[in-house]
Amino acid sequence: MRSEAVNRVKLVFTLFDTDGNGVLVSDDFRLMSSRVAAAVPGAEETRKHAMQAGFTRYWNTLAGELDTDHDGQITYDEYQACVLSPERFNGAIDEFAAGFARLGDLDGSGMVTRPVFTGMLRGVGFDLPNIEALFEALGPDDADRVGVDVWEAEIKSFYAPDKGGIPADLLAPSPAA
Ligand SMILES: [Ca+2]
Ligand SMILES: [Ca+2]
């Protein structure tokens, strides 16, 4: 596994532990999805539900595949296996990425504006300078929008163990950088 992938996964674990108690539980995912929904007040209900379904499936997949001691909590040691065996997670990550990115397509244009993109990723807990660097790397158009499909693909890459030196790394700078 590439070190960039380890950095990305470590950061996501920290952010998804929304109550900061060191383990992931279902409530962490509920809280996170409500924060993301709150960041996009103008989103269609169907898109909100799809986003929330993505978070739910993500959690259910973690709980079903990685909770090796069956205590209903995912420790970091348990969590990191998700990038070691991506074949068990691709379905969940695909649904999560689609639900998340498409929530930001407020006008059905297939594009997401900078304020919406920024608000959603702030909702997850990423740092603003990192979010802005990623937005620039995704190639905004003249109207300062990026393609939802481009973003969706980058979310999938974020979880890919064999990828490094990609725009998604801008969200999780290496500790040495
Ligand atoms: Ca937690
Ligand atoms: Ca466990």
> Domains of the chain, with CATH numbers?
3-166 (1.10.238.10)
Calculate what percentage of the chain has a pLDDT beyond 90: 85
CA 154 / ligand 1 centre spacing (Å): 25
In the predicted model, what is the mean pLDDT of residues 114-131? Answer: 97
Q: Give the type of residue at 116.
A: V
Ligand 2 centroid from CA 71, angstroms? 5
Q: What separation in Å is there between the alpha carbon of 149 and the centre of ligand 1?
A: 30
Could you write out the DSSP letters of every residue in the chain?
A: --HHHHHHHHHHHHHH-TT-SSSB-HHHHHHHHHHHHHH-TTS-HHHHHHHHHHHHHHHHHHHHHH-TT-SS-B-HHHHTHHHH-GGGTHHHHHHHHHHHHHHT-TTSSSEEEHHHHHHHHHHHT--HHHHHHHHHHT---TTSEEEHHHHHHHHHHHT-TT--SSGGGGGS--TT-
Contact present, 81 and 66 (Cβ < 8 Å): yes
123 CA to centre of ligand 1 in angstroms: 16
Q: What is the CA radius of gyration of the chain?
A: 15
Q: How far is the CA of 95 from the centre of ligand 2 (A)?
A: 23
Nearest ligand to the C-alpha atom of residue 14 = 1
- pLDDT value of position 8: 92
Reported as a single tens digit per residue, the pLDDT across 71-114 is 999 999 999 887 667 788 889 999 999 999 999 999 999 999 99
> pLDDT of 18-64, one tens digit each?
999 999 999 999 999 999 999 999 999 999 999 999 999 999 999 99
Question: What mean pLDDT comes out for the span 113-136?
Answer: 97
Q: Give the model confidence (pLDDT) of 28-38 as tens digits.
A: 999 999 999 99
CA–CA gap between residue 1 and residue 15 (Å, rounded): 21
2 pLDDT band (50/70/90 cuts)?
A: confident
